[in-house]
Amino acid sequence: MKLHFLTLAAIVMSITIACSSSPVKPAETNTSSTNSFNATGGGYTNASFKGFIADTASDASEQTGSAYIVFTGLTNKTGEAFSIIIQLDSTEVKKYIVNPVEQTVMTLFISSGSGTTSYLSIDGEIDLTKWDAPGGRAKGTFKGSFRSSTSADVITVTDGKFDIYRSI
């Protein structure tokens, strides 16, 4: 089931890129700062990554006691999309520290016409401030450093926030 969210993120990003006949910048699309973060490193300088406004471009769910938070949007580069997946070892409202052993991790996917690169969290913090029952909302903030799976690039994420529909 954990791969479900990775697959969901890849599908949403593929559709987003495929449906864009003429790439546009986030300011010209249906993006919002509600689900967003800033990124520096790996070719970005305090870049704004903004999630799509539609709840269908995001999801928060619980599986086997773990929380999964996913949202998709556009970077500040023309024709480039992202998905971020946050996995927490529980659904308890509290601050979490990135710790792969405890299954508290974040994964960032950035896609453009040249392909998709994944970035895995190497440190960070997620503050889950709300976790409603299904049909409600999941809210919180996050920050951290992500290392590319294909190079030595590190992207530092700051000012991350989410307010996402809770499906299951």
Q: What is the pLDDT of residues 66-120, one digit of tens each?
A: 999 999 999 999 999 999 999 999 999 999 999 999 999 999 999 999 999 999 9
- Sign, Cα dihedral of 79, 75, 11, 154: positive
Does residue 102 sit in helix, strand or coil?
Answer: helix
Give the domain extent around 33: 2-165
pTM score, two decimals?
A: 0.84
Q: What angle do CA 128, 134, 137 make, to 5 degrees?
A: 40
Please check whether residue 125 is in contact with residue 98, taking contact to mean a CB–CB distance below 8 angstroms: yes
108-141 per-position pLDDT tens digit: 999 999 999 999 999 999 999 999 999 999 999 9
How many domains is the chain partitioned into structurally? 1
